[in-house]
């Protein structure tokens, strides 16, 4: 039996990166203005869920396909379209392709880790309620995970780490 294949496109435009960075800027600005002691451990701990959600989003766009990968591709298409429309019609710019030339691929253990992380995210959301800050940062991670610039470094750092950890836990090493 062959697995269900939903095609993935994996192309990010300048508009998609602009949307991703704007989402990060939104949450960082809100964090910065709401904490007087910005570098205290308590204030910095409020950034941890944002960074984890952004990392999760980057992992989602690096998944090979399937339902979760298809949802990530659809989300990337949405952020690309929204950013492209804003850049072209808002400021008269062009929106070149800024996708990384080498594509990172997750291993089977990395894909298993995505399923486990998805269950954890759903468990947290079911306990604490719907969180827009999680959605914003997951979308930011999806938008930035394939970028070729410094904006895409999260995908370069997170993907090999999760693949290694997933392979190690699953006994594939």
pTM of the model: 0.84
pLDDT tens-digit readout, 4-62:
444 446 788 889 999 999 999 999 898 888 877 877 888 788 888 888 999 999 888 88
Cα 31 to chain centroid distance, Å, stands at 19
Token pair of 88 as six digits? 């072209």
86-115 residue pLDDT tens: 989 999 888 888 887 776 778 888 888 899
Give the other-Cβ count within 10 Å of 4's Cβ.
9
The set of long-range contacts for 167-172, using a CB threshold of 8 Å and a minimum separation of 24, is 167/107, 167/108, 167/109, 167/110, 168/109, 169/109, 169/113, 170/108, 170/109, 170/112, 172/107, 172/108, 172/109
């Amino acid at each position: 039996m062959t697995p269900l294949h939903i095609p993935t496109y994996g192309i990010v435009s300048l508009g998609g990166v602009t949307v991703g960075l704007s989402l990060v800027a939104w949450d960082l600005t809100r964090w910065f203005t709401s904490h007087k002691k910005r570098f205290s451990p308590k204030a910095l701990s409020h950034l941890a869920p944002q960074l984890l959600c952004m990392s999760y989003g980057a992992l989602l766009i690096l998944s090979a396909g399937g339902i979760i990968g298809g949802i990530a591709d659809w989300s990337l298409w949405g952020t690309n379209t929204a950013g492209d429309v804003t850049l072209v019609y808002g400021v008269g710019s062009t929106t070149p392709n800024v996708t990384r030339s080498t594509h990172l691929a997750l291993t089977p253990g990395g894909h298993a880790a995505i399923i486990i992380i998805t269950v954890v995210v759903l468990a947290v959301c079911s306990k604490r309620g719907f969180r827009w800050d999680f959605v914003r940062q997951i979308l930011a991670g999806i938008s930035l995970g394939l970028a070729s610039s410094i904006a895409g470094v999260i995908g370069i750092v997170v993907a090999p780490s999760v693949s290694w950890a997933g392979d190690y836990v699953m006994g594939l090493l």
